[in-house]
Amino acid sequence: MFSILGGQWRGRKLKALDREGLRPTLSRVKASIFSILESIVWKRRGQPDFSDWRCLDLYAGVGGLGLEILSRGASHCVFVEKDRLHAKVLKENIDSLDCASQAKVILGEVAKSDWERAGPFDLILIDPPYAESHLPNLLTKIASGAILQPGGIVLFEHDPKVMQGEIVGLTLHSTRVLGPAGISVYLRDP
């Protein structure tokens, strides 16, 4: 079990699996991720307001990041997960929060799914297995299409040893190492 850290569902427990291939984001890393996002939004809007945001959670696992942004006011989140058991637990977590109208789960591999059609998105969360941390093709795809809104944010959690470089069409806002996680934040020019 793990918890939602902020927003309307703060403190609510979510199911997780103790299973190889699932690495839920640690609470302190998740807190840092949302602190980064709130800081970016605060500078733009004068308050950390995620209302009306459409979000995409790639490599969703059981939904920890996507459900956190919904709790903080996002209007909709598309979750992409290839593992059937993870997707089943994700759907149970969505049902436990009574937010099925705000969520869509796509069962399939990120490279082969048609999640792009659900966009454009204001925020894209990417949290792949750390063995797949080097994803320049995915970032290039996001940067070159209409998947990400102008001014949109891509937050990429990755192996801290794998540093992401510049991607044409995206500006690298920041890169941080938070214990066992590397975080790279990209912005699309408005």
* 183 phi and psi angles, rounded to 5 deg: -125, 125
Task: Look up tokens 């793990």; give the residue.
Answer: 2
DSSP label at 14? E
Mean pLDDT of 40-54: 82
The identity of residue 44, as a single letter, is: R
What's the pTM value of the predicted model, to 2 decimals? 0.91
Structure tokens at 79: 């979750």
Domains and CATH numbers, the chain: 2-188 (3.40.50.150)
The identity of residue 57, as a single letter, is: D
Contact status, residue 106 vs residue 115, Cβ threshold 8 Å: yes
pLDDT in tens, 66-112: 999 999 999 999 999 999 999 999 999 999 999 999 999 999 999 88
